[in-house]
């Protein structure tokens, strides 16, 4: 049960970082 929670947490953090990185990279590019 804990391992599932941990995997989901890691996945969520990865998605947060990916979202942040994607937005930062897209800035200034049109």
Partner 1 sequence: MTRRFVVRLVLLVAAGVLSFLLLDPIRLRLRPPAASAVIVDRLRTTRELIGLIVEVAEPRTTVKSGKLGGIEVVLLVRGQAHLGVDLSQMLIVSVDETTHTILLSLPPPTVRIAKVDPQQTLFLRHQRYGLWTLVQVEKVDREVVARALADAQNVVTATGADPRHQPAAMRAIEQALTDIASQAGWTIDVYWQPSTPGSP
Positions touching partner 1 (CB under 8 A) are 15-16, 18-20, 22-28, 30
Q: Which is nearer to partner 1, 1 or 25 (CB)?
A: 25
Q: How far is CA 7 from CA 2, 14, 19, in A?
A: 9, 10, 18
Q: Is residue 28 classed exposed, middle or buried when 0-12, 13-18 and 19+ CB atoms within 10 A define those classes?
A: exposed
As measured in angstroms, the least distance from the Cβ of 4 to partner 1 is 20
């Amino acid at each position: 049960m804990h391992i599932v929670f941990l995997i989901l947490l890691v996945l969520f953090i990865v998605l947060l970082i990916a979202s942040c990185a994607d937005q930062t990279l897209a800035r200034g590019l049109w």
